Amino acid sequence: MFAVVEIAAQQFTVRPNDVLVVPLLDGEAGSNVQFTTILAGGDENAPTVGAPTLSGSVSATILEHGKGDKVLVFKKKRRKGYRKLNGHRQQYTKIEIKSISL
């Protein structure tokens, strides 16, 4: 059983007991979340595609929140003496898929 779910405007293919890293979600670690925007799903041999979505839900548990690796942004204009260095760490949420019901 699998499902293609839209989480925070991104599409993820999920199966039961999968651990995913998704963009930051609201909620505390240990709380349950439901995703109802299912784009496709079913068995591996006979998948079903929604028009535009399927009815059902995907249940998940929030494991932890964190920050990703630092991405450095370096800007320079040659021969002008202009150099700028910025860094950014994107926040994420790690979730575990508990069940899929279609």
Walk along the chain (102 residues) and give the pLDDT tens digit of each residue: 999 999 999 999 999 999 999 999 999 999 999 999 999 999 989 999 999 999 999 999 999 999 999 999 999 999 999 999 999 999 999 999 999 999
Tell me which amino acid residue 38 is: I
Containing structural domain, residue 67: 2-101
User: What is the structure's pLDDT at 34?
Assistant: 96
- State how many domains the chain has: 1
User: What is the structure's pLDDT at 53?
Assistant: 94
Q: How many CB atoms lie within 10 A of CB 27?
A: 14
User: What is the structure's pLDDT at 10?
Assistant: 96
Q: Which of 36, 34, 91 is nearest to 62 (CA)?
A: 34
Full-model pTM:
0.83
Q: Tell me the C-alpha distance between 41 and 102, whole Å.
A: 8
